[in-house]
Amino acid sequence: DIQMTQSPSSMSASVGDRVTITCRASQRLGNYLNWYQQKPGKAPEVLMYGAFNLPGGVPSRFSGSGSGTDYTLTISSLHPEDFATYYCQQSYSTPYTFGQGTKLEIK
């Protein structure tokens, strides 16, 4: 199985801050890397697919980058509704494994 490691596990930031979350895979993914946002009591929702592609309806303050084994999710300017938990997920091969999550809290 491909192991996914996210960092940090948690972080605090303020509205307006620029935030970066990192995801590292145990093998090269060829950009088959997705990001999800989960708010308390809700199902996760896709935020990014194919490493840097935004699904319709996702704000442009979210961006993705990376290649090989290392990928990042960046929020350019935090909005109040962005405080949530973020997960990366590899879709290169089954089982489709997730990172352990990054909880983004208000400072």
Residues lying near other proteins in the complex (CB under 8 A) are found at: 1, 31-32, 34, 36, 38, 43-46, 49-50, 53, 55, 87, 89, 91, 94-101
Of residues 41, 18, 21, the one with CA closest to residue 33:
21
Rounded Cα distance between 39 and 87, Å, is 11
57 Cβ contact partners less than 8 Å away, ≥ 6 residues apart = none
Looking at beta carbons only, is 6 or 72 nearer to other proteins?
6
Closest contact distance (angstroms) between CB of 100 and other proteins is 5
Amino acid at 81: E
Looking at beta carbons only, is 14 or 94 nearer to other proteins?
94
Closest contact distance (angstroms) between CB of 31 and other proteins is 8
Closest contact distance (angstroms) between CB of 15 and other proteins is 25
8 Cβ contact partners less than 8 Å away, ≥ 6 residues apart = 21, 102
